[in-house]
Amino acid sequence: MMFRCNRRRITAAGLCAILGGVVCAGGAQTPSEQTPPPVDKWAKHYHDRVALFRAENVEPGGIVLVGSSHVEGFDTGKLLPGRRIVNRGIISDRIGLTDRGILHRLDCSVFDCKPSVIFLENGVNDLGELWRHGTPSIDEVETCYREVVKRIRDRLPEVPLVIVGLFPTRDNYAELNPMIVDLNQRLKKIADDAHCPFMDVHAPYVDADGALKAEYSRDGLHLNEAGYRIWAARIESALAAAAPVPGKLDPTHATSQPSSELLWYDAKELTIEGKGWTDTEGFYNRLPAKAKDVVPGAVWSLSKHTAGIAVRFVTNSPRIAATWDGGGAMNHMAATGNSGLDLYARREGQWVFCGVGRPKTEKTTADVAKGLGTELTEYMLYLPLYNGTAELQLGIEPGATLAKAPPRPAEKARPIVFYGTSITQGGCASRAGMCHTAILGRWLDREVINLGFSGAGKMEPALVDLLSELDPAVYVLEALPNMTTELVRERIQPSVRRLREAHPDTPILLVENPLLPATNPGNAALREAFDALTKDGVKHLFYLEGAEQLAGPENGTVDGVHPTDLGFYRMAVTYRPTLEHILSTGTSLYHE
């Protein structure tokens, strides 16, 4: 069907007829690819370029740039050296509302190329027509653009498609800028809806007046070499992000849930941290199955709580949901910390809070975070502190990628092991990632194994034997709040010697009780044990006093014992320099 739009408006029925009438079957030549008598120089140029594309024998796996003059004029050999670029730009080309345009040449410009990545850049020429002739409308341009994206995604669902926004203009073309801003917002929405990355090429080029910076253009519309260099750098960044994702989960293995459009994946297939043993009775339990008959019953029961266990993964889904066991809460602890989930994203090298899974008292399905964007991002999801987890599924949007997180670098591969009490376990943080052990894990960028066992952690010999099986970067022993002075004197030295026997060079940090630290007799007994061990030549032994752990204006506990988020933050601040010193040097540091 032949259609022109430069003299009249397109009706909705007419637009649908066009979008339904240009499907190309099996690579056959479409009517718009049959070279008609030239109408003008740009029509002839269009058909000449299409004929050239159809005649080329392109090696599969190239990077396709499809668009108009910005693409055709791109010297990719000079500015993208080493990249196999397939340039499918045509000067003056439009999205496809007439008998010419990208919609009509997808076979020869995209599909026949069998690309590894696609960059789609178009729209300014349609806005030029609107500016000069009052048609087509931006709504019509958006609808046609969506159809182009849909056809690419339908044919090449696994090939990364980067939607490139519109560059600003200046001088004779400055009046286009308000329409460019409008269409860019729509293109960003199209990208989000299609789960494609959006490349913003407006912000890097725009001046304080909203126009294209003069130093990046040769005529107010087209880029000069300086402008192309900026775009080339952004393309390189996009290519790095579009590279194959190691550990990607197969979407055909995902499941569905009633009344949910998301795809659901078993979290066990992702990177799990915070487990010291793999031979556990339940997948998310903290102690090995063999411990059941050797540790106190209370410890065994508490080991089924998932304190410190976290799921690390990579996704570009703007929405992340979860299904898990849910559960209630103690009367002095928020349900979100007791039985909820806590999500963080790695952004610019820092872990940043994103959202929380609020539990019901039974099995829960809930959004954890929305509006996250479509860039591949690493996330870490903490499991409940004071409840167990038998099932955990993550829901992401269809078309989005979900993959295992990359391994930690070799110098940070060994975890920090914390052993202790209810404070260690995380009582009473408001969220699972707000106890001091988790905060320190993020600050130090280390895996943490949390072996806090509420009121039952008392440095039992059976637990120390289990601790000796692990291979951490450092042991942090902070069980004093549960131990009588007699137990401190009885168990600390043998425990340290047992760990030192198994690990001659692994640092061990002994931590005082932060509650009434100046007068606590257990702290005095701990110092005596530390002094005796160091006198006997035990190396790589460290000591952290309790005075500063909870110190500061306003009380940092929920009940005089268990820290609030404020208390846990203060503890993390106090621990941090000591742990940084230990991890960086391993030399003795004794805090007076």
Say if residues 214 and 170 touch (Cβ distance below 8 Å): yes
Give residue 158's pLDDT.
85
Q: Which of the following CATH numbers is that of domain 12-242: 3.40.1170.60, 3.40.50.1110, 3.90.180.10, 3.90.850.10?
A: 3.40.50.1110
Question: pLDDT under 50 in the chain at which residues?
Answer: 1-33, 36-38, 587-592
Cis-peptide into 504, omega within 30 deg: no
CATH architecture of 411-592: 3-Layer(aba) Sandwich (3.40)
Domain parsing of the chain, residue ranges: 12-242, 246-274+309-407, 411-592
Say if residues 562 and 427 touch (Cβ distance below 8 Å): yes
Say if residues 428 and 454 touch (Cβ distance below 8 Å): no
Question: Cα–Cα distances in Å, from 588 out to 170, 446, 584, 591?
Answer: 64, 21, 11, 10
Q: Same topology for domains 12-242 and 411-592, yes or no?
A: yes
DSSP states along 37-68: S-SSHHHHHHHHHHHHHHH--PPTT-EEEEES
The CATH superfamily of 246-274+309-407 is Galactose-binding domain-like (2.60.120.260)
Residue located via tokens 């030192």: 500
pTM for this one?
A: 0.70
Q: Which residues fall within 8 angstroms of residue 202, CB to CB, at 6 or more apart?
A: 165, 166, 167, 168, 180, 181, 184
